[in-house]
Amino acid sequence: MKLLNTVQLGSYTLQNSMAMAPMTRSRANADGVIGDLTVLYYTQRASAGLLISEGINISEQALGSPFTPGIYNEAQIEAWKKVTQAVHAQGGKIFAQLWHTGRVGHSVDKKGELPVAPSAIGIQGQEHFTAQGPKVYETPRALETAEVKQIVQDYKQAAINAMEAGFDGVELHAAFGYLPNQFLVESANQRTDEYGGSIENRSRFVVEVMQAMVDAIGAGKVGIKLSPSIPYNNIIDSNPTALYTHLITALDAMPLAYIQLMNALFPTDALPQYPRDVLGTFGPLTQHLIMANGGYSRETGEQELEKGIAKMVSYGVLFLANPDLPKRFELNAELNAADNATFYGGGEKGYTDYPALS
């Protein structure tokens, strides 16, 4: 099976071509510090070729959902060291997914501060999960140009902190409607400065963040996650093909570890400009390793690798429910079913109590 073959990722030789996709689990404490259960959770799944952590807030401002972890102070960094040491002891590799949620948040979880965004445009037709239950989205505060440049530096510092914590690299979460994704698209970015308007300007924030992180931690240690055909969180663009073609071409000049591309997970019948075949449209544009994400099974993941565009496949829910997923794929063994009710928050139930094969 190609899924079980080793693969080269930067300077790292990974034990298989399967990644554990980043998944928010909301099990940090109120200060964004993870505990021993999180150490166990990642250790159980260290047979993945690459573990990608849940989204980790790069700053206090970055936080969108309660009980999500950070990497911007010493207590948070020290806690993540226990995870990386345990994963490495099992022979695994782990990247930190760096997260700024932008407007996908609520002031009740941000000490009364409004969420920030490229423009003062709120998310319509959805509610946000908060510590006080579901709430309608607020209109975010538009960032000043100097603040945008500071957030670029916050990402750079978070990448440095991640390496201090023992991570093997970092991934920029530029997908699914979070801050970098908000800068990219017209529906969320109506700025008139150097970060708004043209495709080049709307891509500038992501390009600057990626360059800053590469400069800080080196070649082959920075990846990015993109969702060119996902309109969730009111992410709409008139020409996503031109937008992501420009962005991926710009990223090609950098010595990145990989580009993780999410498939179109939502119906896009009302958005005919959105490409259905994300891997086929954007994968051939880059020299970088492509990681495919979104709804794969054992069979469809293998088929994706057979096509030759993607060199890795990342699995979310299947890894959540099956800590030994590579072994189960190898044996074609039965899979545990995931319990949706325990995805977010809580303790060991639905987190560290999924059984491995005996």
pLDDT for 4-19, tens place per residue? 999 999 999 999 999 9
Mean pLDDT, residues 256-285 taken together: 94
pLDDT band at 131 (very low <50, low <70, confident <90, very high): very high
Mean pLDDT, residues 304-332 taken together: 98
Q: Please, is 180 exposed, middle or buried when counting C-beta atoms within 10 Å of its C-beta (0-12, 13-18, 19+)?
A: buried
Q: For residue 346, what pLDDT is reported? A: 95
Residue 51 has pLDDT above 90, yes or no: yes
Q: For residue 239, what pLDDT is reported? A: 97
Q: For residue 265, what pLDDT is reported? A: 85
Mean pLDDT, residues 96-108 taken together: 98
Cα four-point dihedral sign 190, 201, 261, 181: negative
Mean pLDDT, residues 206-225 taken together: 98
Residue 25 has pLDDT above 90, yes or no: yes
Q: For residue 267, what pLDDT is reported? A: 81
Q: For residue 229, what pLDDT is reported? A: 96
Q: For residue 238, what pLDDT is reported? A: 97
Residues carrying an active site annotation = 178
Residue 63: half-sphere exposure toward Cβ, Cα within 13 Å? 28
d(CA 159, CA 217): 7
pLDDT band at 184 (very low <50, low <70, confident <90, very high): very high
The DSSP bridge pattern shows strands 290-293 and 312-315 to be parallel
Q: For residue 253, what pLDDT is reported? A: 95
**Residue 223 CA: distances (Å) to CA of 46, 98, 253, 297, 343:** 19, 10, 13, 23, 25
pLDDT band at 122 (very low <50, low <70, confident <90, very high): very high
Q: For residue 215, what pLDDT is reported? A: 98
pLDDT band at 268 (very low <50, low <70, confident <90, very high): confident
Mean pLDDT, residues 169-179 taken together: 98
* Residue % of the chain over a pLDDT of 70: 100
Mean pLDDT, residues 221-250 taken together: 97
Q: For residue 57, what pLDDT is reported? A: 98
Would you tell me how many other CB atoms lie within 10 Å of the CB of residue 4? 15
Q: For residue 103, what pLDDT is reported? A: 98
Q: For residue 227, what pLDDT is reported? A: 97
- Three-class SS of residue 153? helix
pLDDT band at 358 (very low <50, low <70, confident <90, very high): confident
Would you tell me how many other CB atoms lie within 10 Å of the CB of residue 108? 15
Q: For residue 266, what pLDDT is reported? A: 81
Residue 308 has pLDDT above 90, yes or no: yes
pLDDT band at 341 (very low <50, low <70, confident <90, very high): very high
Give the class (CATH, top level) of 2-342. alpha beta
Residue 269 has pLDDT above 90, yes or no: no
**Residue 57 CA: distances (Å) to CA of 8, 49, 66, 76, 336:** 28, 24, 11, 10, 30
The DSSP bridge pattern shows strands 116-117 and 141-142 to be parallel
Contacts of 90 (CB under 8 A, 6+ apart): 43, 46, 47
Contacts of 179 (CB under 8 A, 6+ apart): 62, 100, 101, 102, 103, 116, 117, 118, 151
Mean pLDDT, all residues of the chain: 97
